[in-house]
Amino acid sequence: MRCINFDKEFERYVSAWMKEHAKEYRNYDEMEAAMPDVYEAFLDTPVNWLAGAKPGEYFGQFDSGKQLVNWMEDYFKQRIPVPDMLLNRIAELGLEAEEPLMNLLRKEKATQEIRMAAVTLLREIDSVAPLEYYIGLQAVRGEGEDELADNALDSLASMGEKAVPAMREALALCSPDGQEALLSLLSDYPGDENVFQTAMKLFHARRGRAAILADCLGKLGDERALPALKALAASEETPYLDYIELRSAIEALGGDAPEREFDAEDPAYEAMRSMQ
């Protein structure tokens, strides 16, 4: 399928519109404020470069999820901006687009950008088909940023309780970073002993992540975490920002946080004090 650069066509439309309507506006800011309406007019105007179709309706004539997903992939490969109207049409097709999106997600040669788009669209159509794939991305997480795994984690969150049993089962098989990622979701579903014990183990092992893991322990609601939380909150080595999160977790569990004194040597404390 031909990959038309809708962005460039809109730029041409805006250029012509500005020449025609420039005198109607006092300054550039006023013209910029009119852009949403100009864009809507662009979408609703029949054009020759689409054989008389309207840009906003062009992709609506296609009903094949496979065709549209392949088309989206071609846009990425040719480095032409993917039209929002194409993405919206794929989402409108719902589960009709699920299988081709899953095939694209698993495609070995697919770029990170393409996979990210597939994950986002699968989430928009409320698909649970990639559940195991998403958990697998968490299992092998390493330190540092991982946009694809983060996007997949957002999708696991959107699946709600449907994803909980599989995440609990996979917890022991994940890397520490993967466990932490899954705990950020599983802590919203307290009551599982293995989840609690994993959170406690990570809390003791990953002091540099104390704030995040304390938040998980607070949400899990198990008072057995209080001694460890209080001990770290009381430590002179615990910085101010970590102390704040530890205190919140302690209070969420019904405890009283130890009082601490901070000084200007803690940059975060000094910054917060200067804002008061």
Summarised one tens digit per residue, pLDDT across range 179-214 is: 999 999 999 999 999 999 999 999 999 988 999 999
Please answer whether residues 125 and 97 qualify as being in contact, where contact means their C-beta atoms are separated by less than 8 angstroms: yes
Mean pLDDT of 133-140: 96
- Residues in CB range of 63: below 8 A, 6 or more apart: 93, 96
In a domain, 65, yes or no: yes
In a domain, 89, yes or no: yes
Rounded-to-integer distance, Cα 233 and Cα 217, Å: 14
In a domain, 37, yes or no: no
What is the extent of the structural domain holding 112?
1-7+48-129
pLDDT tens for 242-261 read: 999 999 999 999 999 999 88
In a domain, 112, yes or no: yes
In a domain, 253, yes or no: no
Helix, strand counts (H, E) of the chain: 16, 0
Q: Mean pLDDT of all residues in the chain? A: 93
Work out how many domains the chain is built from and give that number.
1
In a domain, 166, yes or no: no
Q: What global pTM score does this model have?
A: 0.88
In a domain, 53, yes or no: yes
In a domain, 249, yes or no: no
Q: Could you tell me the pLDDT band of residue 36, with boundaries at 50, 70 and 90?
A: very high
